[in-house]
Structure 1
């Protein structure tokens, strides 16, 4: 079975230092494992946090259209009051002369409140639409993360089931080979068979024991991989409630072959549609830059002035105003025009990407269909080969016991059965994985 031992070893190492105390025990079906992953897998949790972040972004954008109120306060101590030169003739002095005069007082303080309110801004309304679409994009990204987790957990679950089936076959072979070892050893002691016959069987028996030990270690790592995909602490105990017999590998592919709109069920297609909407809103925003903006503003300020710091806030000189301000874009060197053109190109490119994605999803579905059918046929052939190999071994043992066959024939038949078992295990795993890939390709995996 082609597995990345390096990945599994890294996962085992990264979690190997966790404390064993407080471990919990779970008995999960594949559906239970997937649901657990929805609540604990980091990628799903982060995608859910992105939705919350998008909600806050909508509120942030909405807040732009609400009144903006600011308060200011200032205090000034004129260590030297500014001097202003006035023409001397104002005071009867000769023309061309200037008299220095100081205006103001030593201490000044100002308290003010200003408020602005957007009355019309095309970009603001487009921004509201875009922020809601961005929230939709985050929600669909969350769906995609759950589908990916579903696929990864299901495949990891099936890998453990297949490993358990491999152990079952190994145990059966070891049991029957142990019986054969005992019989051959007894026959050797009685002088009916040669020592080399015993040695040949011993070699096979020891090889099977080694294979079983290796499979057990790989099974432990695959359990850790399953927990990793689920977001479950490695120290927890997990057993599988589903069996291989619970999995129906037979699917009606004829219905899927005529389903030409399956790509609408694929989250990747939905994500690209949402991206097009965002690009269209960006284009709309660029066009809104041609429109004028109108806002209302108001201010109230209290001014305090005095030469005595203790009496500074005794006298107030207030001021207040309300008004409107309009900004009319006239000419900016054709920047807006070229920005609109760029956004139009972006929309066209995203539409082309959508069409290409549609074709890509169709190809993926066709490949998944072929892989699934090939996997089923291969699995069925491996089952028949496994049965034939088992029958060949049975006949070879009978011939050997009756003295018309050799131990070499038995050894070769045993090797043939082990090879058939290995190919069956590989075919079983490939068929299970191709079933998951097929369900994903046709948009059957939902959360």
Structure 2
């Protein structure tokens, strides 16, 4: 019997542990879920696959193009007799068959296009990385907004326990006449204010969590049971390299490389193309108004009338109204624009990082002062609590001191979470990573 009880306790403990883990949501889990559910990212993944399937290698571009053509025609009246090649007055049915194959032996545009296709695939991947990075920044901001309200609510609930105890004690002391009725009114007012404040925080917490999970496209999850986990690996602070790895800069660099390949592609149109070709043809004819004529059979005519042609052709562009030269010039200008875009993205990133670094520096300077203020507020509340218990201070003064501690704890909490948020934001901007 005892073994059954122990097994039951273990089972329910394990179930509660698993369920708790399911309801615990650290930042990494939120981002992973968001990336899996985001439709725009899924569309970009399909675009990468489409681009990969559209790529043609140099060998693929050099493979021959083979065409098989069949043609049937009717000639009435004065026409050419295919047998004698002379003009006759007859109605003739003529069937022609052609097999043609052509391949480029030397084609510089094929090489340029193949190189351009590879960069196009990398560009599609870079577009996806940019969207993911911007999406991570949105999730990061929403997560810390909800986390701040959650931690704030913990502080309020902890202080509310003391408010319940003090209200109960003052009620009893007023009942026995050791405290005036005014103290009870003051304590009831303070208690009602804390109740309202807690309710507002709970409502705001529910909204912030709902907004977070809506942003993650995880609307099927019951957010009322979700607990956000503030789990950061601060030991990984030096794991990141100093090299900037921002997706927008990488995309701008790929666009510049792609523009250079476009210039090479336009230049390739001015270069000669060496082609080889092969042709096979045959035909069948019959005189329609002379069914008793000596027209050979279909099989014999196809064998007797066959013709083959093999050749090599060199196509050298000489003059096309300077259209290619204009396209080359336009491609060079587009390439220069792409190069300037790289510098523009770097400048924008540097400005944004510099601003966030300054914010981080300010929060670090403020943290020490806020910790000192919190310590003073705690000490003040401890002495005021003792005085209030002994009846040396009124309830209104006690409530004021208690609110000062609550405000100090708010400030410490907010400043600490802001430091974490900005550190993570800087790393997402610099390295596209959450490590701090």
SS of equivalent residue, structure 2 residue 56? helix
Q: Any conservation in 1 of the 2:38–2:217 contact (CA below 8 Å)?
A: yes
- Residue 411 of structure 1 corresponds to 399
Shift of 1:176: 0.8
| Correspondent of 1:49 among 28, 33, 46 | 46
Q: Any conservation in 1 of the 2:57–2:114 contact (CA below 8 Å)?
A: no
- Residue 9 of structure 2 corresponds to none
Q: Any conservation in 2 of the 1:375–1:434 contact (CA below 8 Å)?
A: no
SS of equivalent residue, structure 2 residue 431? coil
Is the aligned partner of 1:424 residue 2:412?
yes
Aligned residues, how many? Answer: 400
Any stretches of 5+ residues in structure 2 without a counterpart? 1-20, 81-86
Q: Any conservation in 2 of the 1:293–1:327 contact (CA below 8 Å)?
A: yes
Is the aligned partner of 1:399 residue 2:379?
no
Is the aligned partner of 1:81 residue 2:62?
no
Q: Aligned pair in 2 of structure 1 residues 304, 214: CA closer, same or farther (>3 Å)?
A: farther
- Residue 243 of structure 2 corresponds to 262
| Correspondent of 2:89 among 102, 109, 117 | 102
Most deviating of 161-170 and 208-217: 208-217
Shift of 1:374: 1.6
Q: Aligned pair in 2 of structure 1 residues 42, 386: CA closer, same or farther (>3 Å)?
A: farther
Q: Any conservation in 2 of the 1:159–1:429 contact (CA below 8 Å)?
A: no
SS of equivalent residue, structure 1 residue 300? strand
Q: Distance in 1 between matches of 2:192 and 2:98?
A: 91
Q: Aligned pair in 2 of structure 1 residues 444, 290: CA closer, same or farther (>3 Å)?
A: closer
Q: TM-score, normalised by structure 2?
A: 0.78
Q: What root-mean-square deviation, in Å, do the aligned CA atoms of Structure 1 and Structure 2 show?
A: 3.5
Q: Distance in 1 between matches of 2:129 and 2:282?
A: 56
Q: TM-score, normalised by structure 1?
A: 0.77
Q: Aligned pair in 2 of structure 1 residues 125, 249: CA closer, same or farther (>3 Å)?
A: closer
SS of equivalent residue, structure 2 residue 318? coil
Q: Aligned pair in 2 of structure 1 residues 307, 394: CA closer, same or farther (>3 Å)?
A: farther
Is the aligned partner of 1:132 residue 2:113?
no
- Residue 205 of structure 1 corresponds to 191
- Residue 318 of structure 2 corresponds to 330
SS of equivalent residue, structure 1 residue 332? coil
- Residue 303 of structure 1 corresponds to 283
Q: Distance in 1 between matches of 2:49 and 2:191?
A: 59
Q: Distance in 2 between matches of 1:120 and 1:288?
A: 11
Most deviating of 281-290 and 393-402: 393-402
Q: Aligned pair in 2 of structure 1 residues 293, 143: CA closer, same or farther (>3 Å)?
A: same
Most deviating of 301-310 and 138-147: 301-310
1:203-352 superposed matches below 5 A = 203-235=189-221, 239=226, 242-243=229-230, 246=232, 248=234, 262-263=243-244, 265-307=245-287, 313=298, 315-316=301-302, 317-352=305-340
Q: Distance in 2 between matches of 1:353 and 1:149?
A: 22
Q: Any conservation in 1 of the 2:41–2:132 contact (CA below 8 Å)?
A: yes
Shift of 1:222: 3.4
Q: Distance in 1 between matches of 2:188 and 2:71?
A: 96
Task: Summarize deviations over 1:25-55 as a string: whole Å, max 9, x none.
Answer: 4645433444444444334333332322221
